[in-house]
Amino acid sequence: MSPAQEASSILQELGVDATSGDLASRSPIDGSEIGKVLIGDPAAAAARAAKAFEQWRIVPAPRRGELVRLLGEELRAAKEPLARLVSIESGKIVQEGLGEVQEMIDICDFAVGLSRQLYGLTIASERPNHRMMEQWHPLGPVLVISAFNFPVAVWAWNAALALVCGNPVIWKPSEKTPLTAEAVMALAGRALQRFGEPPAGLVQIVQGDRDVAEALVDDPRVALVSATGSTAMGAVVGPRVAKRFGRVLLELGGNNATIVCPSADLSLAERAILFSAAGTAGQRCTTLRRLIVHESIADRLVGRVKQLFANVKVGDPRDLDTLVGPLIDEAAFEGMRRVLSDRIERVDAVAGGFYVRPSVIEADAQQGTVLQETFAPILYVLRYRDFEEAIALNNAVPQGLSSSIFTNDLREAERFLSAAGSDCGIANVNIGPSGAEIGGAFGGEKETGGGRESGSDSWRAYMRRQTNTVNYGTDLPLAQGIRFDVPP
């Protein structure tokens, strides 16, 4: 079946009409148009969300969790067709599409449990007959701006937490993947219906490009802007939200490294390198872009990686034996060509799509394009002699998302994870930098933006903290022992 035919049948199955509107979606598999959607109205969405917030914030959190539980059920039931649609619209292989929808299900399960655990502390007061505590209250409407490469999971990471935390959600998906977003909205619509009488405007989508996003970014009714995408986007969004004293959560580009030490299990390392560097056609924020390898094992490991890259099946992401699908579009192909020039290897897989073989480049120094995130499967190799040099190379880039080390030397592993080790938000041992679980907080430092979403205590970004002091005595002692007596 052609991508357009299959997309149309999946959309029909999921109850989505994507046949009219000004925003067209194209499948990277063959470049064909697979549907159209209407551009949204940012101001109207913000107004509806602000109204919904007044009701949703007073619904008990465990009841809010019930909505997310139903959403998880809808996603479980539609996992297969939604994953295939993700594959058709974003170009990732079906296995990764299934993984992406599983992540949505996992974060729903996590958020349901969380809805009974939005704990605050009680704090010892210095004053007699006083009690101190902190409460976590809903924050307000949350705007989720998402990127093409995780067209549905990023919304779920944010929405599941935002909803149990008491906040309405507005989604501005990538203009390159509007159909998967509509499909998710249809599933959310079913969950809302089964939930019974949710506030109107609790879960909304606003389709469009950066102009639509910027209007929402500037809207004071939006309490939190959670923006996932390039560093260039974050550099615009961050200051705009700061200007109106809004809250921002930025999940931006990465330039992730793996260090391979002499004691490493090379068979583990090479498999991890293949998945992390070539998987998703190098279009993950956590994609492995720099291989920092000890000079004593470099020739062997690099030879093996080149062999794996030469043999990996590049093709239609719906074929079961394909491991590398197409780049998202021609602009991505041109971005890769700017780095590789005539060394780029275009693969003749499906007419109309931009398919490339992953590339390995031996870099003499960490400079120029090695410091940038080219969103394509290019792996730079840097050789090191002593371990401190390897850590310095890992950290000497502007981005700080993910990192990993392959070693069987405990000292090296712990040094890498220590305060003087990797400066990234994610640091792994004996696995690649890519493929996080939802249980941990996800995000990175420096130009990656500093945000954390998904697991651990990331939920706090979606709530406001209130400190309460209660006097149950008959005196009015002041903090710090200050005397301020009323004259007789």
Smallest distance from the beta carbon of 444 to ligand NAD, in angstroms?
Answer: 6
Smallest distance from the beta carbon of 395 to ligand NAD, in angstroms?
Answer: 18
Is residue 361 within 8 A of residue 381, CB to CB? The reply is yes
Specify the DSSP class assigned to residue 356: B
Interface pick for ligand NAD out of 127, 210, 247, 304 (rule CB under 6 A): 210
Token pair belonging to 398: 């502007």
Smallest distance from the beta carbon of 21 to ligand NAD, in angstroms?
Answer: 16
Of 134-193, binders to ligand NAD (CB under 6 A) are: 145-150, 172, 174-175
Tell whether residue 427 is a contact of ligand NAD (CB under 6 A): no
Q: Which of 108, 165, 285, 424 is catalytic?
A: 285
Task: Examine the residue annotation and report whether 424 is marked as an active-site residue of this protein.
Answer: no
Specify the DSSP class assigned to residue 457: T
Burial tier of 181 (Cβ tally within 10 Å: 0-12, 13-18, 19+): buried
Of 394-413, binders to ligand NAD (CB under 6 A) are: 401
Q: How far is CA 373 from CA 230, 358, 421, in A?
A: 9, 15, 22
**Residue of minimal Cβ distance to ligand NAD:** 229
b/e per residue 305-341 (b: at least 16 CB within 10 A): beebbeebebbbbbeeebbbbbbbbeebbebbbebbe
Task: Examine the residue annotation and report whether 285 is marked as an active-site residue of this protein.
Answer: yes
Closest CB to ligand NAD among residues 229, 326: 229
Interface pick for ligand NAD out of 228, 322, 407, 434 (rule CB under 6 A): 228
Tell whether residue 209 is a contact of ligand NAD (CB under 6 A): yes
d(CA 325, CA 117): 40
Tell whether residue 390 is a contact of ligand NAD (CB under 6 A): no
Closest CB to ligand NAD among residues 163, 327: 327
Closest CB to ligand NAD among residues 228, 434: 228
Q: Would you list the DSSP string of 307-353?
A: HHHHHS-BS-TTSTT--B--BSSHHHHHHHHHHHGGG--B--SSTTS
Interface pick for ligand NAD out of 448, 452, 454, 459 (rule CB under 6 A): 448
Token pair belonging to 92: 């990732």
Residue 138 pairs in a beta bridge with 463
List, by residue number, the catalytic residues: 251, 285
Chain residues binding ligand NAD by CB under 6 A are 145-150, 172, 174-175, 209-210, 213-214, 217, 228-230, 233, 236-237, 251-254, 285, 373, 375, 401, 448
